[in-house]
Structure 1
Amino acid sequence: MESITFNIKRFDGETTWNQEYVLPRETSTLLGCLTKIREEQDPTLNFTSACRHAICGSCAVQVNGNAFLACETQLDTLLETFQTDTLYLEPLNNLPVVRDLVVNFDGMSEKLKKVNGWLEEHEGRCNHLQSEEEFHLINKPADCIMCGSCVSECRELAYDDGTYLPPMAMNKAYRFERDSRDGSHGKRVLAALQNNLWKCIHCQQCTTKCPKHIPIAEEISYLRREALRMGETKSEGARHAYSFYDDVKRTGLLNETMLALRTEGMVKTAMNRTPFAIRMVAAGKMNPLHMPKPVEGIESVRKLYEFSQRMSKEDQHV
């Protein structure tokens, strides 16, 4: 490839269109290419950048439908990954577009406030010393640069009604919930729970696309476990989790007939699921009278449960 085509989604506040720019192939970052386009071809092209060292998080964009930090992403890496000489650039998903590749983060800032993303006074401590183990718990989540890549990739946010917290807010909740210097443990778990903690669909995109490799999906799972440990078991999400847990422990299989009933209750299931259930029965894909028997090797499954419970208890004491 001697030249590369950049097909960039443009927006002027009213109209959306795609515009192509051609650059000779050379060793450069994506941000370097955008800068060259603006300086040499089109000074009206808008994008944001600042540090150029993957610290500020301001330059994240979508390339061929995937979020990247423009300043640290090499052009050669993109061409090798997508096996093409045309790159499609768009602003991040799930955020209001201001102009071209620039998005508005104001709404995300308000979401962050909901989880009290700061240290609160610990009345029982007179210093802020931490052990190596205590620091290790918050070291990785503290790397977040709030670039918005996880927000863009979140499949739940793409269809949410605005009540679900973005992954970066969940990361903040986890980071301060695990901080040994904080005096409000449990407060952020409840805040996440009140903002649909159980809506996460475990697509893992927030984790795989994070430029700092923060395991956000694991952090969300921890917040869920803490909510259950605190006795918050009455939500649909908690009942759904317990249904899975109990079925697999009992037989090694999921009883799909009973899952909706135990999750949503008799009345809601009857109102929302009856037509679907009738179609499933008619198609032979569900037998409401079938009760799964334990699978072969169920004892091994139960040993995994016991091991998981031991690990969970050890984690609580870290």
Structure 2
Amino acid sequence: MITIQIRRFHANRQPPEVVQAWEVEEGKTLLEVLGAIKNEKDPTLTFRSGCRSSVCGSCAVRVNGREVLACAYKPKEGDLVEPLRYGEVIKDLVTDQAPAFETLQRAGAWLEKADPEAVVTPEEEKRTEAQSDCILCHSCYSACPVLETNPAFLGPFALTRDWRYVADPREADPKGKIDAIQRDGVWDCTLCGECTAVCPQGIDPKNDILMLRTRSIQMGHMDPNMGSFGSFGLDF
């Protein structure tokens, strides 16, 4: 047996947030452990789950400050389990995921103006194959440190999906998508790679953002910070 901790939240409880320790069976997945706690010890424990096979992404949580899928992760002694970040906690490990989905809308991260004459070659399809495997777990969104200081930042969840459609030859207006991500978007990323590290599907948002920057320059945009660096150099 091992002991893990779970950060819990209930708006009607005083205090509303507590950390509870539980003795659980070693070798089980975190989702199995959460289910056992709920079924055998505390039926009020609340968490999300779906496919139980790393396909739906609904069971994503944070363990020791790192995003994981509960159905794939096996707890270790002393682990601290918490909800994902940047969404209001509804109860325990369940958060409101609306803020992440709103970034997709602001970025226009979908095939908006399809060219009926466009033909997608196997090579072009392979270019965005990984991005198409996104399971909407929001791990990359939760892992992004930029959102701590700039809540308006589009974040890796939206930007990597935006690259998916900017690179799609069927999109008749890729420049419109590029224009939409210039503010609080592609240039605000610090390229820390936290999003890439936590993606359970092996998607690389950091690289996708670099590709979006390259495409932005090709379409006449530039990093707004470059002017500041230039001025600094002249003043110096």
1:146 to partner: Cα distance: 1.4
Measured in 1, the distance between the counterparts of 2:24 and 2:18 equals 20
The equivalent of 2:25 in structure 1 is 24
Alignment coverage as a number of residue pairs: 233
Equivalent position of 2:104 in the other structure = 112
The answer as to whether partners of 2:86 and 2:99 remain within 8 angstroms in 1 is no
Runs of 4+ in structure 1 off by over 6 angstroms are none
- Structure 2 CA distance for partners of 1:239 and 1:214, relative to 1, 3 Å: farther
Is the contact made by 1:199 and 1:237 (CA closer than 8 Å) also made in structure 2?
no
Contact 2:25 2:33 in 1 (8 A): no
Larger RCO (alpha carbons 8 Å, 6+ apart): 2
Aligned residue among 112, 127, 135 for 1:137: 127
Equivalence map 1:203-282=2 (5 Å): 203-233=192-222, 236-239=224-227, 259=229, 261=231
**Aligned partner of 1:89: which letter?**
V
The yes-or-no answer on 1:150 pairing with 2:140 is yes
Query: Identity across aligned pairs (percent)?
Result: 32
Shift of 1:117: 2.1
How far apart are 1:24 and its partner, in Å?
Answer: 2.7
| Residue type at the aligned position of 2:23 | V
Residue 158 of structure 2 aligns with which residue? 169
- How high is the TM-score relative to the length of structure 2? 0.92
Q: Which residue of 2 aligns with 1:94?
A: 86
Q: Which residue of 1 aligns with 2:175?
A: 186
Q: When the two structures are superposed, what TM-score results if normalisation uses the length of structure 1?
A: 0.69
Q: Deviation per CA, 1:36-65: give whole Å up to 9, x if none.
A: 111111100010011112121111001111
| Aligned match of 1:5 | 3
> Is the alpha carbon distance of 1:33 and 1:219 closer, same or farther for their aligned partners in structure 2, counting shifts above 3 Å?
same
**How far apart are 1:188 and its partner, in Å?**
1.5
Unmatched segments (≥5 aa) in structure 2? none
Change in Cα spacing, 1:24 to 1:53, as seen in structure 2 (3 Å) is closer
Distance in 2 between the 1:100 and 1:56 partners? Answer: 20
CA distance 1:132–1:262, change in 2 (3 Å): farther
Deviation at 1:129, TM superposition (A): 4.2
Contact map agreement 2:155 2:185 (CA 8 A) in 1: no
Distance 2:23 2:203 in 1: 35
Q: 1-side partners of 2:25 and 2:157: how far apart?
A: 36
**Could you tell me how far 1:194 is from its partner in structure 2?**
2.7
Aligned to 1:302: none
Whole-Å separation in 2 of the counterparts to 1:238 and 1:131: 37
Q: Equivalents in 1 of 2:19, 2:54: separation in Å?
A: 27
RMSD between aligned alpha carbons? 1.9
Q: 1:262 and 1:226 mapped to 2: Cα distance?
A: 27
Q: Is the 8 A contact 1:177 1:188 kept in 2?
A: yes
Whole-angstrom distance in 1 between the partners of 2:33 and 2:226: 47
CA distances 1:257-286 after superposition (whole Å, capped 9, x unpaired) = xx36259x97xxxxxxxxxxxxxxxxxxxx
Greater fraction of residues in helix: 1
Structure 2: which amino acid aligns with 1:87? D
Unpaired runs of 5+ residues, structure 1, are 80-84, 241-258, 267-287, 289-318
